[in-house]
Amino acid sequence: MKLTTEQIREFYHRGYVKIPGAISKSMVDTARQAINYSIGTLSSKGLNLAKHHGGGEVVSNLNSSPMIKDLYHKSPVISLTESLLGDGNLKVPIGRTTPASRFPNVLGKAPPEPTGHIDNMGNGRNGKPKGSYHRGFTCFGIIYLADVPEPYSGNFTVWPGSHHVYEDYLNKMGIKILSNGQPRIDQPEPPHMITGQAGDLILAHFLVYHCASPNASPNIRYATIARMSHVDCAKNGNDCFTDIWREFPCVRDVMGLD
């Protein structure tokens, strides 16, 4: 399975693309069953799941487990990602593949507006030293494991076009401006909370402003996430903050960037 030219153009302009039904129902069901079993086991031990809205740490025992890794390695994910990076340019096996559940907010409380970020910006509270920054991957791969039919359901959320805004900003200000912390700059569009169905895959550029939306639905948002890398990601390092298509030759070809 490969992305179409239209999908590659969408990825360029908006910073992400959703591929409906990329993952088979059987693989989705296996992963969701494993997650639910893990949640059930932890609940019986008295863990307060309501405090873990992020959800990843709740089932961290499944990080890079076979049923989660198979979603990426035994599906079209690699070929679809190589539609952007070029054949053989995706580093495999893919590194950490993690469940990313989002639990509902407290009943009756209005959800706040989504608040975005760029990955690997240290603030002293996220496990990274304040002022640190690091470009450690090339693109996200998010897989929905259950339907996410409405906004404010823990949706993977993006600010379309934000990757272009940040590239322009960092070329103007210099990469070292990131040592001051997460840049808060005006975005070209409001946040888009991506809806979808179980088995949908979302590919997103590493520099797109993003978050998981608040979950005001009655359901757990089931998903997995992987941060996938070009084979030259480590060598290119932070240079890709100001040259955001260096690791996307197929995008450059389609958009006539070379």
Number of alpha carbons in the 13 Å side-chain half-sphere of residue 227: 14
Q: What is the average pLDDT score of the chain?
A: 91
For the segment 213-224, the average pLDDT, to the nearest whole number, is: 94
CB 162 within 8 Å of CB 15: yes
- Number of Cβ within 10 Å of residue 218's Cβ equals 8
**CATH topology (fold) of 5-255:** Jelly Rolls (2.60.120)
Contact between residue 139 and residue 230 where contact means Cβ atoms under 8 Å apart: no
pLDDT tens for 202-215 read 999 999 999 999 99
167, containing H or E segment: helix 162-173
Least confident of 41-45, 90-94, 105-109, 247-251: 41-45
State the DSSP H helix or E strand holding residue 235, giving kind and residue range, or none if neither: helix 233-236
* In the chain, domain spans: 5-255
What pLDDT is attached to residue 40? 80
Work out the pLDDT band at 58, boundaries 50, 70, 90: low
- The pLDDT score that the predictor gives to residue 132 is 80
Interval 114-134 mean pLDDT: 78
- Quick one: tokens of 71? 């979603």
